């Protein structure tokens, strides 16, 4: 229809607003003598024509040439922060398939039974569901066989009560998914666990930590006594304070990482800050050991380049203070703040040290003087801690 010159001329007003100068009103003659209107000029002749046929242009989905793709891949590999970044093929299969978001146990009902063909995202998930099944029925089981590709359990009172309950699940190829391949249930009516107390042997700290993990993620300060009450309301068993405490610690470690790994990651984190933000400053204070490759962490100081440069436009005033860290290894976070022209706080420098003492404060102030600012006559506001007073009277400490 758009190729009908008379139709275009008669209906051009239908396609544009009254205030718009129609492109149809601009006639043209092509090299081959054809007559047309401005609508043809508004189309990209490299990618489409008036009949709607698409031509391949520079932005098409045509595959790159193998040589071009290899060059681009090499550029990406060379831009990696470290060689280990490119070792994707060495990743564990569980990690490679961690993007799987569906849950194989969605069809499992606590009051129902297992069935052949049910799938679970991981072996860990399968174990927890089997525990949940047993706890809610006051049953127990023993593990007959377990490895990375198989999980087999049976009733703990198989011989005593002649209970034939048994479950076998296997891993599916290279995926972390476990599928039930054999199942004989439910339990016999006379194989209930003898509960001599209000506790259940399957309510381990690992199982409890899995059940409270989302709660701890929202509120890491959730009380241990509240965890005990939560488990009591959910499973009708009372666990010990010690087990609830361990469960909370495991949940925190699963969510945020454990303390040891966090300190091991600290040098990598600081190095990444320096490499990704040139001009950032990091100073370490380490205690050497008999092994040259092993050092004991004592202190670390860091300041960001925007803060360093921005302090040149702030008032010559610095507020310093320390706050206690309440982790496994304690310590103190030292902070230096400036004041900008709008009387707002301006983050300047930070340090993690062993404590506020006569060594840490002089070291912190010396790092500020060395790497952050050399401005003279700076006013320092503090709580007059003994370590700060020592640093003020010590030559070379800032």
DSSP track, 100-146: ----GGGG--TTS---TT-EESSHHHHHHHHHHHHHHTT--EEEEEE
Report if residue 124 sits inside a domain: yes
120-133 pLDDT, tens digit each? 888 888 888 888 88
Report if residue 372 sits inside a domain: yes
State whether 279 and 309 are in the same domain. Answer: yes
Residue 237 has pLDDT above 70, yes or no: yes
More confidently predicted of 29 and 245: 245
Task: Pick the closest to residue 129 from 102, 158, 109 (CA basis).
Answer: 109
Q: What are the structure tokens assigned to 13, written together?
A: 């007003």
Residue 158 has pLDDT above 60, yes or no: yes
d(CA 237, CA 167): 25
Q: pTM for this one?
A: 0.54
Q: What are the structure tokens assigned to 138, written together?
A: 């006051």
**Which residues fall within 8 angstroms of residue 79, CB to CB, at 6 or more apart?**
none
Peptide bond into 186 cis (omega under 30): yes
- Provide the residue range defining the domain that includes 288: 263-393
State whether 108 and 218 are in the same domain. Answer: no
State whether 209 and 301 are in the same domain. Answer: no
Report if residue 166 sits inside a domain: yes
Report if residue 17 sits inside a domain: no
Which single residue is written with the structure tokens 């009708």? 236
State whether 174 and 102 are in the same domain. Answer: yes
State whether 267 and 368 are in the same domain. Answer: yes
Q: Give the model's pLDDT for residue 55.
A: 39
Q: What are the structure tokens assigned to 297, written together?
A: 């962490």
**What sign has the CA pseudo-torsion 90, 91, 94, 100?**
negative
């Amino acid at each position: 229809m758009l190729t009908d010159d008379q139709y275009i001329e008669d209906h051009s007003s239908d396609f544009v607003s009254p205030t718009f100068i129609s492109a149809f009103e601009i006639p043209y003659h092509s090299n081959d003598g054809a007559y047309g209107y401005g609508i043809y000029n508004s189309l990209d002749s490299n990618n489409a024509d008036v009949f709607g046929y698409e031509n391949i242009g520079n932005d098409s989905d045509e595959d790159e040439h193998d040589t071009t793709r290899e060059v681009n891949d090499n550029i990406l590999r060379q831009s990696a922060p470290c060689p280990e970044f490119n070792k994707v093929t060495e990743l564990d299969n569980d990690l490679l398939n961690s993007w799987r978001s569906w849950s194989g146990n969605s069809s499992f009902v606590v009051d129902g039974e297992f069935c052949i063909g049910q799938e679970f995202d991981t072996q860990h998930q399968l174990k927890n569901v089997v525990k949940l099944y047993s706890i809610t029925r006051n049953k127990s089981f023993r593990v007959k066989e377990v490895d990375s590709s198989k999980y087999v359990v049976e009733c703990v009172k198989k011989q005593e009560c002649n209970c034939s309950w048994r479950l076998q699940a296997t891993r599916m190829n290279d995926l972390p998914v476990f599928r039930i391949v054999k199942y004989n249930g439910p339990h016999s009516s006379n194989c209930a666990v003898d509960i001599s107390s209000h506790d259940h042997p399957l309510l381990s700290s690992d199982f409890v930590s899995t059940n409270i993990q989302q709660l701890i993620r929202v509120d890491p300060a959730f009380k241990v006594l509240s965890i005990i009450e939560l488990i009591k309301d959910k499973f009708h068993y009372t666990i010990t304070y010690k087990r609830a405490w361990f469960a909370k610690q495991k949940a925190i470690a699963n969510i945020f990482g454990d303390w040891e790994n966090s300190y091991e990651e600290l040098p990598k984190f600081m190095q990444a800050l320096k490499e990704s933000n040139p001009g950032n400053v990091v100073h370490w204070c380490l205690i050497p050991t008999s092994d040259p490759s092993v050092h004991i962490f004592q202190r670390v100081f860091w300041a960001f380049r925007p803060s360093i440069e921005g302090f040149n436009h702030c008032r010559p005033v610095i507020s310093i203070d320390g706050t206690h860290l309440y982790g496994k290894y304690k310590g103190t976070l030292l902070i230096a703040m400036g004041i900008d022209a709008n009387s707002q706080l301006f983050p300047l420098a930070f340090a993690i040290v062993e404590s506020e003492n006569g060594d840490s404060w002089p070291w912190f102030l010396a790092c500020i003087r060395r790497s952050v600012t050399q401005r003279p006559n700076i006013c320092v506001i503090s709580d007059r801690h003994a370590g700060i007073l020592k640093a003020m009277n010590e030559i070379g400490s800032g």
